[in-house]
Amino acid sequence: MVTMQKRHITVLGATGSIGLSTLDVVRRHPDRFSVYALTASTRAEDLAGLCREFRPKVAVLADSAAADVLRGLLSDLPEISVLGGAEALSTVASAPEADTVMASIVGAAGLPPTLAAVRSGKRVLLANKEALVMSGRLFMDAVAESGAELLPIDSEHNAMFQCMPADKVRDPEAAGITRILLTASGGPFREHSAESLANVTPDEACAHPNWSMGRKISVDSATLMNKGLELIEACWLFNTKPANIEVHVHPESIIHSMVEYVDGSVLAQLGSPDMRTPIANGLGWPERIDAGVKPLDLFSIARFNFEKPDLLRFPCLRLAAEAFEAGGTAPAVLNAANEVAVAAFLDGNLRFSDIPVIIERTLAATSVIPADSFETILAKDAEARRQAREQIGLLTV
Ligand code: NAD
Ligand code: MG
């Protein structure tokens, strides 16, 4: 019998929705996985609890003051080194002691450590779609140069990946692929009128009908920006264009996406809406491992529905497609403006229906330049954030 090689894992964003689901899969397979590092932003107590269970070699909090608190909480476990500060995220993401990195920080903050993991040639499980949206070509070039093994964790992209021949993921034409059918739940406001979208609350936006997720991605699902980011993500991962991808609103969230072939075959991946399935697929790849997910009961679901997305009520999907077509730094600006607008909405400082307004105005006010270095992209990200804040100020005075 061949002895299985144990994977040593770093989880970036361990206290989040994806981080906790990842650790739940890891917990089920102590023979396969050990945890090298766990990271989070500020939550010292949550991270301390995870450290007690998973006994990583290193724990990182991006917030240095919170890292001091964590050091105190773990003083009886001196074998765990506690680091503080954003740079330490990249240090553990590229450390030779780990071979696998779960990139599950939310937003642009995840780009530097995810890139560090890519550059050091690891298996990178990509949940942090914002990192790829911001830096598309440079990110994929870095994957090619380092030989990193990039596996999609976003449920739709993981579904597409499962429906493609593994050796032709970057060459859809050679694989005979004619179209990708990207499914969307439609979010909690799928049936809301345009007028009523002005008054929806953050809690309503975060009450997703099928998935339990972090607050930022929940709002993105409600505006359909999540689908826009995923459209761009699919273009980079599978080396294709928006014209070859069609969004299908499928409110049941059972089909996680489909791939159409030149002979008329359409392959779909189905499953309960539980992120542990794509996470287990990435962790175990190419083997299948138990994810703790309940089996699908198609008799109780009974029906699948499909509809076209309504770009008038949900303009974010259109804005994302346009930003991808504009190229260069436009997707980074789109992403930054969206992060600022969503944060303002969650803080009660912006109406839901003004999120696309802020993004559109920020895109119009920020020049597009070639995305020729990560420094350029981060500078545009900062410029777009300033611009988006200014636009929010203009709306609310
Ligand atoms: P979340 O808000 O639940 O968790 C985010 C994690 O990132 C936390 O551990 C937090 O401590 C950490 N973090 C936040 N800001 C940070 C910073 N500045 N520096 C360092 N760490 C920071 O988010 P989530 O729902 O788990 O989503 C994580 C990523 O996965 C997002 O990019 C999201 O789009 C993607 N994703 C999530 C789901 C889902 O079901 N939740 C599905 C597909 C893709
Ligand atoms: Mg998704």
pLDDT at 397: 57
Both structure tokens of 94: 């590229």
Q: Which of the listed residues 106, 277, 385 should we mutate to test ligand 1's pocket, taking the one with most ligand atoms within 8 A of CB? A: 106
d(Cα 85, Cα 66) in Å, to the nearest integer? 9
Asked whether the bond before 286 is cis by omega within 30 degrees of 0, the reply is yes
d(Cα 38, Cα 46) in Å, to the nearest integer? 11
d(Cα 269, Cα 212) in Å, to the nearest integer? 20
CB distance 26 to 52 below 8 Å: no
pLDDT surpasses 80 at 133: yes
Q: Which ligand approaches the C-alpha of residue 227 most closely?
A: 2
pLDDT surpasses 90 at 350: yes
Amino acid identity of 94? S
The residue count of the chain comes to 397
What is the set of domains in the chain, with CATH numbers?
7-153 (3.40.50.720)
Question: How many A from CA of 211 to the centre of ligand 2?
Answer: 10
Q: What is the DSSP string of 342-372?
A: HHHHHTTSS-GGGHHHHHHHHHHHS------
Question: How many A from CA of 226 to the centre of ligand 2?
Answer: 7
Which residue has 């269970």 as its token pair?
Answer: 53
Q: Is the ipTM of this complex over 0.90?
A: yes
d(Cα 8, Cα 382) in Å, to the nearest integer? 34
What pLDDT digit, counting tens, does each position of 69-113 carry?
Answer: 999 999 999 999 999 999 999 999 999 999 999 999 999 999 999
Q: Which of the listed residues 89, 217, 277 should we mutate to test ligand 1's pocket, taking the one with most ligand atoms within 8 A of CB? A: 217
Summarize the confidence of residues 178-205 as an average pLDDT: 96
**Phi, psi for residue 177 in degrees, rounded to 5:** -85, 130
Residue whose CA lies nearest to ligand 1 atom number 40: 213
Q: Which ligand approaches the C-alpha of residue 67 most closely?
A: 1
Q: What is the DSSP string of 187-231?
A: -TTTT--TGGGGG--HHHHH--SS----HHHHHHHHHTHHHHHHH
CB distance 251 to 208 below 8 Å: no
Q: Which atom of ligand 1 is nearest to the CA of 20?
A: 26
Amino acid identity of 236? W
Question: How many A from CA of 283 to the centre of ligand 1?
Answer: 18
Q: Beta-carbon neighbour count of residue 297 at 10 Å? A: 9
pLDDT-wise least confident of 124-128, 212-216, 353-357, 375-379: 212-216
Q: Which ligand approaches the C-alpha of residue 228 most closely?
A: 2
pLDDT at 5: 86
Residue whose CA lies nearest to ligand 1 atom number 22: 41
pLDDT surpasses 90 at 396: no
Q: Which atom of ligand 1 is nearest to the CA of 131?
A: 32
Q: Which of the listed residues 104, 157, 185, 378 should we mutate to test ligand 1's pocket, taking the one with most ligand atoms within 8 A of CB? A: 104
Residue whose CA lies nearest to ligand 1 atom number 2: 214
**Phi, psi for residue 126 in degrees, rounded to 5:** -95, 105
Amino acid identity of 75? S
pLDDT surpasses 70 at 3: no
221 is in an annotated binding site: yes
Q: Which ligand approaches the C-alpha of residue 128 most closely?
A: 1
Residue whose CA lies nearest to ligand 1 atom number 42: 154
d(Cα 254, Cα 301) in Å, to the nearest integer? 9
Q: Which atom of ligand 1 is nearest to the CA of 215?
A: 2
Edge-to-edge strands, sheet with 255-261: 245-249, 177-184, 255-261, 266-270
230 is in an annotated binding site: yes
d(Cα 114, Cα 229) in Å, to the nearest integer? 17
What pLDDT digit, counting tens, does each position of 242-283 carry?
Answer: 999 999 999 999 999 999 999 999 999 999 999 999 999 999
d(Cα 207, Cα 203) in Å, to the nearest integer? 6
Both structure tokens of 396: 């609310």
Summarize the confidence of residues 51-71 as an average pLDDT: 98
d(Cα 238, Cα 220) in Å, to the nearest integer? 22
